Chains A and B, each alone.
Chain A
Amino acid sequence: MALNAAAYAVTVFLLLPTLIIIPMSVGPERLLSFPPKGFSLRWYAEYFRDEDWIRATLFSAEAGIIAALCATTIGTMLALAIVRGRLPGKGLVELLVIGPVIVPHIALAVAMFLVFEQLRLTGSLLGFAMAHTVLALPFVVFTVLAALYRFDAELERAALSCGAGPVRAFCHVTLPLIAPGLVSAALFAFIISFDEAVVSFFISDLDRKTLPRKMFEDIDFNISPTLAAVATMLTALTIAALLLGYALKRGMERRARRTGP
């Protein structure tokens, strides 16, 4: 009982700052304040009216989608190599994959900025996609690894013994069965890219910037409640994406192992 109470307390503590932003976004005042003195959706309207906000959002979405696709593809191949391949130094590879999680993002950001500046990749979609792919890769690899460890490798052997080559065995048997894992990995990667602020701060330029970077700028120049509105929507989107991923995964798993015709 006490343990349960502690668990709930910690959850509330973790959520509180996020929840406070919601009332702040519906206040009618010109400056961010808490508690709000009324209710208004004007700051939400403001966001949709402002071309800068929309442009940053679309740019983030584009970068996020490309990064999710790239990270999922590369990460799946890497996970397969770790699980199935006769990779020399397998343990080392598995360890290094965590790299982008352990290395401080600020260090990564500086490094990427220096390299991207040379290659004229700052402020480009390609640059963001590449940077976010790197950041999302560990999460993809670990999600797919978990799916592969749950997957019965003997099924692949069965497919081979049925005359399928390794590629076809993968496409017809492995892929459909680990697909729920890949979907959640891709959603995860998208969210990581979409929320990412530190690296984006360094590799954005004046015209091309992501949503979090735009939010940084906004808090510097005008502390408008639009920021709170954006933050609220960003939170809602993240939660929605996670729920969607969960629902999709459940649905696909149920379809794969359906017990009723």
Chain B
Amino acid sequence: MGVPDGSQGHVALESLVKRFGPVNAVDRVTLEVGAGEFLALLGPSGSGKTTILMAIAGFEYPDEGRILIGGEDVTWAPPNRRNLGMVFQRYTLFPHMTVLENIAFPLKMRGVGRAEREQRARAALDTVRLGGMGERRPAQLSGGQQQRVAIARAIIYQPRVLLMDEPLSALDKNLREEMQLEIKHLQQRIGITVVFVTHDQTEALTMADRVAVLDRGCLQQVGAPRDLYEAPETVFVAGFIGETNFYEGRLDGFARAGEPVSVVLDGGGRMTATAAQSLAAGSRIKVALRPERLRVLPAGEGLGARVTEAIYAGNATTLMLEGEGGRRLRARIPAGAGLHEPRPGERVRLSWQPTDARAFAA
């Protein structure tokens, strides 16, 4: 497999809008995917992630906006003229063809001769570690093998971009994790641009260079997995990626993004946090705080809470806490760090670094 020409794999979406009746399934999404980049489109169902993928593939046409691939406007080009590879959620192998015929199909459609087709299909089959399976029918392969064949079929003509629509959701957990790494390695080896749709945040964080989080058709945030987890820009992202405690309250004063703020909590107490966005004076606030960023001490400074449950899970202990005003919280204490592990019923004090608590307009 050769490396596709650099700029060819660049994908740009310009204020894409797709309406289904009165609903904006995709609402002014602007997004760029660099050549050779692995981008995950992540969101709950109905977030518009699949619609965006289908628009890139050419199976849906947007109501507004443009789609550029390799700098070329393909918004209205039919799917077969876009030179993209596509892997579907179900394996969609042609049941009346052998595995080898399936993989060679894109070459056949491009007028490649029989001998070369066969040779390249066999090479692609080796790439996905299925050498020797070429003469079988798709129905004789396991789910994971079928999906590998689908990947081989999608990359055999060295497309500039590979689109993947939840390709692993039909596989069981162990196989899924194995395939995640396998796809990631394959992508790095052949240097292809990948746009990968998933609703599984772990999958997105594991595989992607950057993740685009969508909610109800709107792009919430695009960033490296670490940025999404550690510096979410919207309440949705803070709540959707990983586990989060939310404190609700009212802002004391006003703040611009990145500035330290003081929040008067509902039900009493006050906490220091960092503004994740510009916040108006006295506005309603939600503060997001990761369970593992809470320091749990028997006494001292910070907000008071009572341990209702302590769940031991080997590498960490999760504490279920009840704060002032009946607020329910979680804290996670890593094992082996010699930290205090309170028992249920114990009263504790919670503290945190102000930079770990991110304040959003509620």
A177-B109 contact in complex given A161-B57, A163-B157, A261-B136, C-beta closer than 8 Å: no
Contacts of B68-105 to chain A: CB distance below 8 A = 78-80, 83-86, 88, 90, 92-96, 105
Of the residues B105, B135, B157, contact of A261 by C-beta under 8 Å: B135
Q: Is A243 located at the chain interface by the 8 A CB criterion?
A: no
A157-B92, A173-B94 are known; give 14 further A-B pairs, CB within 8 A: A155-B92, A157-B59, A157-B86, A159-B94, A159-B105, A160-B78, A161-B84, A162-B106, A164-B109, A165-B78, A165-B80, A166-B80, A255-B96, A256-B96
Q: Is A154 located at the chain interface by the 8 A CB criterion?
A: yes
Contacts of B95-123 to chain A: CB distance below 8 A = 95-96, 105-106, 109-110
Q: Is A158 located at the chain interface by the 8 A CB criterion?
A: yes
Are B106 and A163 in contact (CB-based, < 8 A)? Answer: yes
Q: Is A37 located at the chain interface by the 8 A CB criterion?
A: no
Q: Which residues of B contact A162 (CB under 8 A)?
A: 80, 105-106, 109, 153
Q: Which residues of B contact A255 (CB under 8 A)?
A: 96
Tell me how far the C-beta of A225 lies from the nearest C-beta in chain B, rounded to whole angstroms.
49
Tell me how far the C-beta of A179 lies from the nearest C-beta in chain B, rounded to whole angstroms.
9
Q: Which residues of B contact A161 (CB under 8 A)?
A: 57, 79-80, 84-86, 154, 163
Chain B residue with the shortest CB-CB distance to A157: B59
Q: Is A251 located at the chain interface by the 8 A CB criterion?
A: no
Q: Which residues of B contact A155 (CB under 8 A)?
A: 92, 94
Tally chain B residues at the interface, Cβ within 8 Å.
30
Chain B residue with the shortest CB-CB distance to A153: B92
A255–B88 Cα gap in the complex (Å)?
25
Are B139 and A157 in contact (CB-based, < 8 A)? Answer: no
Q: Is A258 located at the chain interface by the 8 A CB criterion?
A: yes
A64–B140 Cα gap in the complex (Å)?
41
Q: Which residues of B contact A164 (CB under 8 A)?
A: 80, 105, 109
**Contact bitstring A10-24, B, C-beta under 8 A = 1, else 0:** 000000000000000
Of the residues A158, A168, A172, contact of B88 by C-beta under 8 Å: A158
A83–B140 Cα gap in the complex (Å)?
30
Are A177 and B105 in contact (CB-based, < 8 A)? Answer: no
A154–B88 Cα gap in the complex (Å)?
8
A176-B96 contact in complex given A162-B153, A164-B109, A258-B137, C-beta closer than 8 Å: yes
A163-B92 contact in complex given A258-B137, A259-B139, A261-B135, C-beta closer than 8 Å: no
A168–B78 Cα gap in the complex (Å)?
14
Are B90 and A154 in contact (CB-based, < 8 A)? Answer: yes
A119–B183 Cα gap in the complex (Å)?
67
List the 6 closest pairs (A to B, CB-CB), nearest first: A161-B86, A158-B92, A162-B106, A163-B109, A160-B79, A256-B96
- Chain A positions within 8 Å of B, measured between CB atoms, are 152, 154-155, 157-166, 168-169, 172-173, 176-177, 255-259, 261
Tell me how far the C-beta of A148 lies from the nearest C-beta in chain B, rounded to whole angstroms.
15
- Chain B positions within 8 Å of A, measured between CB atoms, are 57-59, 78-80, 83-86, 88, 90, 92-96, 105-106, 109-110, 135-137, 139-140, 153-154, 157, 163
Q: Which residues of A contact B79 (CB under 8 A)?
A: 157, 160-161
A156–B338 Cα gap in the complex (Å)?
59
Q: Which residues of B contact A259 (CB under 8 A)?
A: 137, 139-140
- Where chain A touches its partner, the secondary structure class is helix
Query: What are 14 A-B contacts with C-beta separation under 8 Å?
Result: A154-B92, A157-B79, A158-B92, A159-B105, A160-B58, A160-B79, A161-B57, A161-B86, A161-B163, A255-B96, A256-B96, A257-B96, A258-B139, A259-B137
Are A257 and B139 in contact (CB-based, < 8 A)? Answer: yes
Are A177 and B95 in contact (CB-based, < 8 A)? Answer: yes
Tell me how far the C-beta of B114 lies from the nearest C-beta in chain A, rounded to whole angstroms.
15
Chain B residue with the shortest CB-CB distance to A160: B79
Are B137 and A152 in contact (CB-based, < 8 A)? Answer: no
Q: Which residues of B contact A166 (CB under 8 A)?
A: 78, 80
A155–B150 Cα gap in the complex (Å)?
12
Q: Which residues of B contact A168 (CB under 8 A)?
A: 109
Chain A residue with the shortest CB-CB distance to B82: A161
Are B83 and A163 in contact (CB-based, < 8 A)? Answer: yes
Q: Which residues of B contact A258 (CB under 8 A)?
A: 137, 139
Q: Which residues of B contact A165 (CB under 8 A)?
A: 78, 80
Of the residues A152, A158, A173, A257, contact of B86 by C-beta under 8 Å: A158
Q: Which residues of A contact B59 (CB under 8 A)?
A: 157, 160
Are A157 and B78 in contact (CB-based, < 8 A)? Answer: no
A173–B140 Cα gap in the complex (Å)?
19
Q: Which residues of B contact A173 (CB under 8 A)?
A: 94
Tell me how far the C-beta of B206 lies from the nearest C-beta in chain A, rounded to whole angstroms.
25
